[in-house]
């Protein structure tokens, strides 16, 4: 029989089919392999095509990592052919069907695991059934949901105390009780499934996820201790759940090639974008990107264009094709493109975000506060204009602006489902003001200094012996000892 030390761990990774979940989980799987484990990623043909070359390169370099394909049940669930990623869903109905399709993966995944006898399975939070599958096989399940300690602590406090029930309006602020800091929110900023659980079409899924949380071994966080120490402790000691912080996982990618091919193929060509940035002065460019899921109205895109133009700052603006309102082509002001020539670069589609953020010309980031984007901005030491939209992004905004003090809000007030953007657009004037505050003047400089300090801490955390490196190794030990 092999001893605990000599046994090579074999871990299966099942990422949720959305870029903000898949991208960091692939980074984690690869880091397990670099640390001597055998890693197998379960994915579907279209999703895997985005990272299969990266995994192939890892194998050529001697890592024991591979992809095992399962079919995504589009037809069975009633989704259009090729709709294998949540980011391809454009209506609430489609998103709900997508979640049902993910439930149908239970059987094929269980079959795969039975055939392969792994030591553990790391599965996205939405695979609420993964704990039962793991238990049947006698192996631990670890959760990964692509967010951090701070938002998880907020969710927990809201669920436990329901402070949003004691206010008279959607606008009245309340304090989230029991947290290390005073964090104020309004009902308008809360996810529907949190404040109006019974009305939410996701209520049933949320209930199943919460139930599964108590059965899993613990959660892997894409975070580092020094970023949110009070919340890392609160989560473990007060809420009492096991967690391992291993991030920022984007920093596991050392080469430019690795950073550029994280996620999807880029639309602009990395060279085009980098040579444009190379021609700019340090800290002179604002990078504008709202992640992989956001759907904006044409009216909002128009206001962004106005705000960027009148800010007088240089910018890279990522506009995903799908975010454009197909009914209207007038989402740019007349003559905008010729006026901003040389000063602004519009990327239609997918940008090499980590490469851009790390470029010395980039001095600010307008972000929707998706957790990955926040961590990538932190890791690159770039201060932010925060513009939360949905999911837990309004919580993340609080961390960036009030706790870390490395960002300024654009003034977004209202959470909506990503497929249902009925909000009033944020005005160009407000965008201009926030950008100027960040890029020009003393307050922006203070945020930049703070961001750099955090960026240095982030880099140290993933170095050998750093807090995240140590936690990753202790997680691997925990999986080993589970089997002893
Ligand atoms: N991303 C990217 N290029 C893009 C858009 C997004 O590389 O043009 C990456 C980004 O670096 C991050 C992920 O996609 O790793 C988005 O995750 P996040 O949590 O920020 O937001 P979500 O897309 O889940 O809302």
**Domain-wise residue ranges, the chain:** 2-251+463-482, 268-459
Judge if the beta carbon of residue 323 lies within 6 A of ligand 1.
no
**β-pair partners for 318:** 347
Judge if the beta carbon of residue 316 lies within 6 A of ligand 1.
no
Number of the ligand 1 atom closest to the C-alpha atom of 347: 8
Judge if the beta carbon of residue 253 lies within 6 A of ligand 1.
no
Quote the pLDDT of residue 327. 44
DSSP 424: P
Judge if the beta carbon of residue 466 lies within 6 A of ligand 1.
no
Number of the ligand 1 atom closest to the C-alpha atom of 369: 20
Q: Confirm if 367 and 373 have CB atoms less than 8 A apart.
A: yes
Mean pLDDT to the nearest integer, 370-379 = 98
Q: Helix, strand, or coil here: 28? A: helix
Residue 249 has pLDDT above 80, yes or no: yes
Give the pair of three-digit tokens for residue 99. Answer: 């979640």
Range with lowest mean pLDDT among 97-111, 276-290, 409-423: 409-423
Q: Confirm if 405 and 450 have CB atoms less than 8 A apart.
A: yes
Residue 269 has pLDDT above 90, yes or no: no
Judge if the beta carbon of residue 379 lies within 6 A of ligand 1.
no
Quote the pLDDT of residue 277. 97
The 10s digit of each residue's pLDDT in 271-313 is 789 999 999 999 999 999 999 999 888 899 999 999 999 999 9
DSSP 478: H
CA 250-388-205 angle, 5° bins: 80
CA-closest candidate to residue 245, choices 268, 217, 224, 259: 224
Mean pLDDT to the nearest integer, 418-430 = 88
CB neighbour list of residue 152: distance below 8 Å, 6 or more residues apart = 219, 221, 231, 235, 239
Judge if the beta carbon of residue 372 lies within 6 A of ligand 1.
yes
Residue 325 has pLDDT above 70, yes or no: no
Which has more confidence, 348 or 154?
A: 154
Pairing, β 314-319 against β 141-144: unpaired
Q: Helix, strand, or coil here: 409? A: strand
Mean pLDDT to the nearest integer, 442-449 = 97
The pLDDT confidence band at residue 2, using thresholds 50, 70 and 90, is: very low
- What percent of the chain has pLDDT above 90? 82
DSSP 461: H
Mean pLDDT to the nearest integer, 388-398 = 97
Residue 421 has pLDDT above 90, yes or no: no
Q: Confirm if 239 and 26 have CB atoms less than 8 A apart.
A: no
Number of the ligand 1 atom closest to the C-alpha atom of 294: 25
Protein residue whose Cα sits closest to atom 18 of ligand 1: 370
CA-closest candidate to residue 286, choices 400, 394, 412, 431: 431
How far is ligand 1, taken at its centre, from the CA of residue 464, in Å? Answer: 27
- What percent of the chain has pLDDT above 70? 95
Judge if the beta carbon of residue 139 lies within 6 A of ligand 1.
no
Mean pLDDT to the nearest integer, 56-74 = 97
Q: Helix, strand, or coil here: 388? A: coil
CA 434-435-440 angle, 5° bins: 110
Angstrom distance (rounded) from CA 28 to CA 9:
14
Angstrom distance (rounded) from CA 29 to CA 446:
36
How far is ligand 1, taken at its centre, from the CA of residue 349, in Å? Answer: 12
CA-closest candidate to residue 15, choices 135, 99, 127: 127
Protein residue whose Cα sits closest to atom 6 of ligand 1: 291
Quote the pLDDT of residue 321. 62
Angstrom distance (rounded) from CA 87 to CA 250:
20
Q: Confirm if 457 and 227 have CB atoms less than 8 A apart.
A: yes
Residue 263 has pLDDT above 80, yes or no: no
Give 233-255 as a DSSP string.
Answer: HIIIIIS---EEE---GGGG--S
Residue 252 has pLDDT above 50, yes or no: yes
Question: Which CATH homologous superfamily contains domain 268-459?
Answer: Glycogen Phosphorylase B; (3.40.50.2000)
Which has more confidence, 183 or 256?
A: 183
Quote the pLDDT of residue 213. 85
Domains 2-251+463-482 and 268-459 share a fold: yes
Protein residue whose Cα sits closest to atom 15 of ligand 1: 372
Quote the pLDDT of residue 331. 79
The pLDDT confidence band at residue 260, using thresholds 50, 70 and 90, is: confident
CA-closest candidate to residue 406, choices 414, 398, 394: 398
Q: Confirm if 111 and 131 have CB atoms less than 8 A apart.
A: no
Quote the pLDDT of residue 395. 98
Give the pair of three-digit tokens for residue 433. Answer: 């003001």
Burial of 175 (0-12, 13-18, 19+ CB in 10 A): middle
The pLDDT confidence band at residue 270, using thresholds 50, 70 and 90, is: low
Quote the pLDDT of residue 1. 40
CA-closest candidate to residue 391, choices 264, 290, 318: 290
Range with lowest mean pLDDT among 175-179, 214-218, 465-469: 214-218
CB neighbour list of residue 383: distance below 8 Å, 6 or more residues apart = 363, 364, 365, 377, 406, 407, 408, 438, 444, 447, 448, 450, 451
Quote the pLDDT of residue 420. 76
CA-closest candidate to residue 10, choices 139, 123, 108: 139
Residue 202 has pLDDT above 90, yes or no: no
CATH (residue range 2-251+463-482): 3.40.50.2000
Protein residue whose Cα sits closest to atom 24 of ligand 1: 20
Residue 198 has pLDDT above 90, yes or no: no
Q: Which helix (H) or strand (E) holds 140?
A: none
């Amino acid at each position: 029989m092999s001893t605990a030390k000599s046994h090579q761990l074999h871990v299966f990774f099942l990422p949720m089919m959305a870029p903000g979940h898949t991208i960091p989980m692939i980074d984690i799987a690869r880091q397990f392999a670099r640390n001597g484990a055998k890693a197998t990623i379960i994915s579907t043909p279209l999703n895997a095509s985005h990272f299969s070359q990266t995994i192939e390169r890892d194998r050529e370099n001697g890592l024991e990592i591979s992809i095992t394909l399962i079919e995504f049940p589009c037809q069975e669930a009633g989704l259009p052919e090729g709709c294998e990623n949540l980011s391809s869903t454009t209506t609430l109905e489609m998103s709900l069907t997508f979640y049902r399709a993910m439930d149908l993966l239970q059987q094929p995944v269980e079959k795969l695991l039975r055939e392969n006898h792994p030591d553990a399975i790391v599965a996205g939070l939405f695979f609420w059934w993964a704990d039962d599958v793991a238990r049947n096989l006698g192996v631990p399940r670890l959760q990964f949901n692509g967010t951090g300690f701070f938002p998880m602590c907020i969710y927990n406090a809201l669920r436990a105390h329901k402070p949003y029930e004691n206010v008279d309006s959607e606008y009245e602020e309340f304090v989230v009780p029991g947290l290390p800091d005073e964090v104020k929110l309004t009902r308008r900023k809360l996810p529907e499934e949190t404040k109006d659980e019974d009305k939410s079409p996701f209520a049933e899924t949320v209930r199943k996820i919460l139930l599964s949380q108590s059965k899993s071994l613990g959660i892997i966080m894409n975070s580092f201790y020094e970023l949110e120490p009070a919340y890392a402790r609160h989560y473990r000691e007060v809420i009492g759940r096991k967690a391992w912080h291993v991030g920022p996982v984007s920093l596991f990618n050392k080469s430019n090639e690795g950073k550029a091919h994280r996620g999807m193929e880029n639309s602009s060509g990395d060279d085009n974008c980098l040579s444009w940035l190379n021609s700019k002065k340090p800290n002179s460019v604002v990078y504008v990107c709202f992640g992989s899921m956001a759907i904006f109205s044409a009216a909002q895109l128009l206001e962004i264009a106005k705000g960027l133009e009148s800010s007088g700052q240089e910018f890279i603006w990522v506009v995903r094709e799908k975010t454009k309102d197909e009914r209207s082509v007038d989402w740019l002001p007349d003559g905008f493109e010729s006026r901003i020539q040389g000063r602004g670069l519009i990327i239609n589609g997918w940008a090499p975000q980590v490469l851009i953020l790390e470029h010395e010309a980039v001095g600010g980031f307008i972000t929707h506060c998706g957790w990955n984007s926040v961590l990538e901005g932190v890791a690159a030491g770039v201060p932010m204009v925060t513009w939360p939209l949905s999911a837990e992004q309004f919580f993340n905004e609080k961390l960036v602006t009030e706790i870390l003090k490395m960002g300024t809000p654009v003034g977004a007030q209202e959470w909506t489902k990503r497929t249902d953007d009925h909000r009033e657009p944020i005005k160009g004037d407000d965008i201009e003001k926030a950008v100027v505050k960040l890029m020009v003047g003393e307050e922006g400089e203070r945020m930049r200094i703070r961001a750099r300090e955090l960026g240095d801490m982030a880099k140290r955390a993933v170095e050998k012996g750093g807090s995240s490196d140590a936690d990753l190794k202790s997680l691997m030990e925990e999986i080993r000892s589970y089997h002893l």
